[in-house]
Structure 1
Amino acid sequence: MTNNSMKDALESLEIKLAYQEDTIEMLNLTIIQQQDKINKIEEVLRKMADKIKSMPSSEGHINEQVELPPHY
């Protein structure tokens, strides 16, 4: 390899490395954003589960003579 072709090869590798570093940084930011969304969704789900658990159970209050609406 000549000196010129080595410089070209090195420059090409440096360009590829710069693109890879940029891509890795973008992927990292995307992962951070996704984790934030997951955390928010988990919090909402936890609140919903707590709310459902705190609702009174209808099992003990079943009316055996439930009247159907007139259109049945």
Structure 2
Amino acid sequence: MSANEQLEARMEALEMRIAYQDQTIEDLNTTITKQWAEIDKLQREIAKLYAQMEEMDNGGGGEIVERPPHY
């Protein structure tokens, strides 16, 4: 195998490696984007739950909860 053929083989291997890495980076980016969307959704849901709990603590919500007699 001549030096030229060796160089071509190495270049081809590097090009294949770069193509694989590009695909891996794109897959990771897609995964991260989906995870951030899910995290954002969960944070909004938690904020709603906190607001509901605060409303219940402040006597809102319509239902009056009395303490049991043993308190």
TM range, normalised to the smaller chain? 0.7 to 0.9
The letter for the 2-side match of 1:55 is M
Q: CA offset at residue 62 of structure 1?
A: 4.1
Structure number, greater radius of gyration = 1
Structure 2 equivalent of residue 9 of structure 1: 10
Superposed CA RMSD: 2.0
TM-score normalised over the length of structure 2 = 0.79
Q: CA offset at residue 56 of structure 1?
A: 3.6
Contiguous gaps of at least 5 residues in structure 1: 68-72
Identity among equivalent positions (%) equals 30
Q: Cα deviations across residues 6-64 of structure 1 (Å, max 9, x unaligned)? A: 00000000000000000000000000000000000000000000000001458xx546x
Structure 2 equivalent of residue 48 of structure 1: 49
C-alpha separation in 1, matches of 2:27 and 2:12: 23
Structure 2 equivalent of residue 36 of structure 1: 37
Contiguous gaps of at least 5 residues in structure 2: 60-65
Deviation >6 Å, runs of 4+: none
TM-score normalised over the length of structure 1 = 0.78
Higher normalized contact order (CA 8 Å, seq sep 6+, divided by chain length): 2
C-alpha separation in 2, matches of 1:56 and 1:21: 52
